[in-house]
Amino acid sequence: MSRTVLVAGGGTAGHVFPAIAVASELQRLDADIEPVFVGVPDRLEARLVPEAGFELHHVDAVSIPRRPSPRLLRVPGALRRTVGRCRELIDQTGARSAVTFGGYVSFPLDRAAKGAGLPLVIHEQNSVPGLTNRLAARWADHVAVTFPGSASRFPRPERCVVTGNPVRDDLLALDVAVRRAEARSAFGLDPDLPTLLVFGGSQGARSLNRAIIDAHDRWDAQPLQVLHAAGTGGYPLAASGWEPARTRTPDGPKVELVDFIDDMALAYAAADVVVCRAGATSIAELTVLGIPAVLVPYPHATANHQLENGRALERTGGAVVIEDGELDGARLAAAVLPLLRDPEHHARMARASRAFGRRDAATNVARLVLRTLDEERS
């Protein structure tokens, strides 16, 4: 007889991909488990969850404005309706447990689980927990955290378990060394040249785009090529910036400029060093692969959690952190060059990164969910 587990984690890739990874692992560990997702129809989960083969039920979005506004007055009523819809789904599916991954789509299910007496596991990707998870942690049976230092930030730290942040199966299966030459060729790069991957998310990061362009004449003849994903929003400005930079320094590194990379596994396989933001998902992906990184935390992240994320990896030796306001071409080149010039330094950072990563993160979270089912039966 199948046992349904309701899953909520939507809005961004940082919530959706870990949720899908855990749902897949639940099915692998117990064939009787049936994960059923709760999500918003116009967000990322509406496409990714069905593509992964899971059932998705839609609920209305209930986001709380971060600043006072008339919209705040509508939140209590909208939240009650969405919690009620989640209660209906609990009854309709006969759910036995719930697991949520933060974000505003999770909170209605968190509340509905509490009202229905349904066992609940929540997962926090970042070093500084978000509002939704801080609230839900008050009644959750287990809190899965990515960073060891996060437990003290929750109201009941004894219920926290360090699991790591689940990543996609295609990354866990990736053999970087085997696919490196193929990956570089796929992006139009030299298979034998050291490669720097720079990306700032789907829309891009203006400060990263400016810095890598500014660094074009600062590599001191170091053999190097750059794969620069400028983002769909940042691509036009980056393209116009690269033109004069290449003109001024025609013998600078080869640069492949793209707006967006669909196959991030292939991009990681091409890279010796990565420059990116310090989102929890990026850090989880880099560390399961053991790729040294220069992290530039997004300065407007809630509670500055990206800086905390990046510092946690930097303390282990797996990354270098440059704060956004201090980033320019000179700082970027100074951080990257030692990793390209000193193979042992690169190897040390790669080992530290890999040691920080948790390849078993999805399994760890899934086992917490299964534990709630066992506790329910006992």
CA atoms within 13 A on the CB side of 142: 22
What was the pLDDT predicted at 210?
97
What was the pLDDT predicted at 147?
92
What was the pLDDT predicted at 167?
95
How far apart CA 106 and CA 82 sit, in angstroms, is 11
Q: What is the residue-wise DSSP string for 75-119? A: HHHHHHHHHHHHHHHHHHHT--EEEE-SSTTHHHHHHHHHHHT--
Please say if the pLDDT value at position 31 is more than 60. yes
What was the pLDDT predicted at 15?
86
CATH class of 3-165+359-377: alpha beta
Q: What is the largest CA-CA distance in the chain?
A: 72
Q: Which residues of 199-234 are buried (b: 16+ CB within 10 A; e: fewer)?
A: bbbbebbbbbbbbbbbbbebbeeeebbbbbbbbebb
**Residue pair 89/57 in contact by the 8 Å Cβ criterion:** yes
How far apart CA 53 and CA 207 sit, in angstroms, is 38
Please say if the pLDDT value at position 346 is more than 80. yes
Nearest to 204 by CA among 114, 310, 298: 298
Q: Once rounded to an integer, what is the mean pLDDT over residues 49-63?
A: 87
What was the pLDDT predicted at 308?
95
Nearest to 135 by CA among 114, 161, 158: 114
Residue whose structure tokens are 């009854």: 91
Average pLDDT, the chain: 92
Please say if the pLDDT value at position 73 is more than 60. no
Q: Once rounded to an integer, what is the mean pLDDT over residues 93-97?
A: 96
Q: Compute the residue count for the chain.
A: 378
Helix (H, G, I), strand (E, B) or coil at 300: coil
In the chain, the percentage of residues whose pLDDT exceeds 90 is 79
Chain CA centroid to CA 129, Å: 14
What was the pLDDT predicted at 108?
93
Please say if the pLDDT value at position 340 is more than 90. yes
What was the pLDDT predicted at 62?
66
Bridge partner residues of 7 (DSSP): 37, 99
What element of type H or E holds 228? strand 225-229
pLDDT band at 207; cut points 50, 70, 90: very high
Fold matches, 3-165+359-377 and 170-356: yes
- Across 92-101, 137-146, 348-357, 368-377, least confident range: 368-377
Please say if the pLDDT value at position 291 is more than 90. yes
Q: Once rounded to an integer, what is the mean pLDDT over residues 299-311?
A: 93
What was the pLDDT predicted at 69?
58
- Across 96-100, 179-183, 301-305, least confident range: 301-305
Between 60 and 324, whose confidence is greater?
A: 324
- What are the residue ranges spanned by the domains of the chain? 3-165+359-377, 170-356
Please say if the pLDDT value at position 41 is more than 90. no
Q: Once rounded to an integer, what is the mean pLDDT over residues 157-162?
A: 95
Q: Once rounded to an integer, what is the mean pLDDT over residues 266-295?
A: 97
Angle at 282 between CA 324 and CA 58, to 5 degrees: 115
What was the pLDDT predicted at 14?
81
Please say if the pLDDT value at position 191 is more than 60. yes
**Residue pair 215/255 in contact by the 8 Å Cβ criterion:** no
**184's tokens:** 């570089």
Spatial neighbors of 167 by CB under 8 A, at least 6 apart, are 17, 18, 21, 281, 284, 285, 288, 361, 362
Q: Once rounded to an integer, what is the mean pLDDT over residues 68-96?
A: 81
Helix (H, G, I), strand (E, B) or coil at 126: coil
**Residue pair 289/359 in contact by the 8 Å Cβ criterion:** no
Helices of type H across the chain: 13-29, 45-51, 75-93, 106-116, 131-136, 169-172, 176-186, 206-214, 235-248, 264-270, 280-289, 305-316, 329-341, 343-356, 361-377
Q: Once rounded to an integer, what is the mean pLDDT over residues 271-280?
A: 97
Chain CA centroid to CA 239, Å: 27
Please say if the pLDDT value at position 317 is more than 90. yes
HEC-encoded secondary structure of 170-199: HHHCCCHHHHHHHHHHHCCCCCCCCEEEEE
- Across 78-82, 267-271, 289-293, least confident range: 78-82
Q: Once rounded to an integer, what is the mean pLDDT over residues 114-131?
A: 94
Q: Once rounded to an integer, what is the mean pLDDT over residues 79-101?
A: 93
Q: Which CATH number fits domain 170-356: 3.40.50.2000, 3.40.50.1100, 3.30.300.20, 3.40.1440.60?
A: 3.40.50.2000
What was the pLDDT predicted at 45?
86
Please say if the pLDDT value at position 11 is more than 80. no
**Residue pair 187/271 in contact by the 8 Å Cβ criterion:** no
Between 290 and 71, whose confidence is greater?
A: 290
